[in-house]
Structure 1
């Protein structure tokens, strides 16, 4: 009886801890949206530069740990190049969307990532989904469609070109889905430090190249002020926390609790919009949010594992990981 009671308490504490971490991720997501939106109101249009500093911080902090370990990479380098590229494009498109759409629309439409993840994992990782999961995802899409309807003029979603902003967000979520699926695949290799440091390194390099091509003139025209610098710093800190916690939460709880946790970032965004921007929120947003919640609950209730375990076990990448893992046990490798 005592053992059962202890096990139940441990399970409860672990669940509460995971939920707490999920809410940390949810809050920093809302904070990232807020600071990005705030920079738009201050007349700053530098989404690539905004993402550069978080990548730099990740590369410096987690890259230093990786160098100290002196271990070989468990995942091929080209995989991280693609991962960094996809992540930069996702951040660029979503942050750019704040120029045209409201913070509420952007954060709700972020849920499109789930639909893209289903498609990508089915195509590339051969993940099998139940009819209930497809039904839940379809309900989410219906709810998100209401946001598009509202932004088209039925409810006045806010922003100079809300439909263009919505399109940018949806395109951004496709790149985020690529990044998320790739990141979760790499996290299955059991080294979160390597994954985060490589995303930071290649995200930083891709950002520098794209800033030089697309954003140099805009960056030179920015009139720097204390408020703008603080907004950049706030985004960098929030992003650093986000990238640090996401792999950990995914590995501990999987996509179910993670998706449910980050869903509350939409409500944080509504609170920010009401209290900081003093904007009215159209009733279609509340209806959309309710429908998305129902869809995600249905989807999450039947979700087993978004990454196919047999696919991972049978992959050449996993075989390479096993070999490297054995090598890392050799003292000469500095492990």
Structure 2
């Protein structure tokens, strides 16, 4: 059962708050991408390149200042950069072929992938309370995508089959990227992770741009109206990438993916208050369901941490008792010898 003490747990509150900050940042990248699309700019890899350059400059400078050897093998970061770039590319590309509803639903494929990968490689345990939280979150998302707001969108897309395959592939790569980042941030260093991801992600992006988007960039008529959302996207992504390792270290990659389920709901709330649009009441219920699911999942983390603490305390107590018994036996043997 959820108790007030568990809810007030420091890691629970930080995880919930940070997760929603990340969700808002993803929402802002969606708005800026939408503005770029309205202006006829279709260069998803080029948008990501500026973010990777920011990561390289900021965190690379800190890494050089430290003058320390890398804590993880450099070729791990090459693979991570490749996976991260292609995950972003595939999901953005999918919007050209399938509907927003399909993208939202199929993007959830990353959650079971993350659970499987963390269970195999990171030995993460998923007890019933965590699984309950995940199911509640997914139920909230399903309620959103089948609400009246997305009614006109469900049949959209020029080639839904290709688009859906792209989303599934992208979601799988997102899972690999998230779990890899969780492993590296817990076993290496956050600054090193960001610097090397920025470096190799930037290299992979530059190569891909020269092959796929060179002509698109040449045709763009740059102005303040086009440059501002382009830079805004990069700044939001830089903040997102900088904060992700913090959440991964505290709560793990499954919590990250669950938190991002609220990004579409934040977008709708912004439209309600900024543009005075009216939406289905289901949206409020769905948003509440996802938040409740996140709380349940976070409390599952708290319970596991407490269990690990109790196990450690019991082990220490047993060791202390064994040492005391051994000392007593030694004293008795010495007395007997005397």
Kindly state the Cα deviation for residue 251 of structure 1 after the two structures are TM-superposed: 2.2
Kindly state the Cα deviation for residue 49 of structure 1 after the two structures are TM-superposed: 0.3
Asked whether 1:168 is paired with 2:166, we answer yes
Q: Relative to 1, partners in 2 of residues 1:117 and 1:277: Cα closer, same or farther, differing over 3 Å?
A: farther
Indicate conservation of the 8 Å contact 2:12/2:295, yes or no: no
Other-structure match for 2:262? 264
Other-structure match for 2:31? 34
Other-structure match for 2:223? 225
Alpha-carbon distance between aligned partners in 2 of 1:294 and 1:13, rounded to the nearest angstrom:
17
Indicate conservation of the 8 Å contact 2:85/2:201, yes or no: yes
Other-structure match for 1:43? 40
TM-score (norm 1): 0.72
Indicate conservation of the 8 Å contact 1:115/1:137, yes or no: no
Q: Relative to 1, partners in 2 of residues 1:125 and 1:62: Cα closer, same or farther, differing over 3 Å?
A: same
Q: Relative to 1, partners in 2 of residues 1:305 and 1:227: Cα closer, same or farther, differing over 3 Å?
A: farther
Deviations 1:142-169 (A, max 9, x none): 6656777789x96534864484555433
Other-structure match for 2:90? 93
Asked whether 1:247 is paired with 2:263, we answer no
Task: Choose 134-143 or 239-248, whichever is displaced more.
Answer: 134-143
Other-structure match for 1:329? none
Deviations 1:184-229 (A, max 9, x none): 1001125110001111011000101111111112222222221111
| Structure with the bigger percentage of helix | 2
Instruction: Count residues in correspondence.
Output: 297
Asked whether 1:125 is paired with 2:122, we answer yes
TM-score (norm 2): 0.72
Kindly state the Cα deviation for residue 29 of structure 1 after the two structures are TM-superposed: 1.4
Alpha-carbon distance between aligned partners in 1 of 2:117 and 2:281, rounded to the nearest angstrom:
33
Kindly state the Cα deviation for residue 232 of structure 1 after the two structures are TM-superposed: 0.7
Correspondences of 1:1-335 after superposition (within 5 Å)? 19-100=16-97, 106=103, 110-134=107-131, 136-137=133-134, 155-157=152-154, 160-161=157-158, 163=160, 165=163, 167-255=165-253, 258=256, 261-272=259-270, 296=294, 298-303=296-301
Q: Relative to 1, partners in 2 of residues 1:111 and 1:83: Cα closer, same or farther, differing over 3 Å?
A: same
SS at match of 1:264: helix
Indicate conservation of the 8 Å contact 1:274/1:281, yes or no: yes
Q: Relative to 1, partners in 2 of residues 1:117 and 1:14: Cα closer, same or farther, differing over 3 Å?
A: closer
Structure 1: segments with no counterpart, 5+ residues: 1-7, 310-335
Alpha-carbon distance between aligned partners in 2 of 1:220 and 1:47, rounded to the nearest angstrom:
15
Structure 2: segments with no counterpart, 5+ residues: 309-338
Q: Relative to 1, partners in 2 of residues 1:298 and 1:18: Cα closer, same or farther, differing over 3 Å?
A: closer
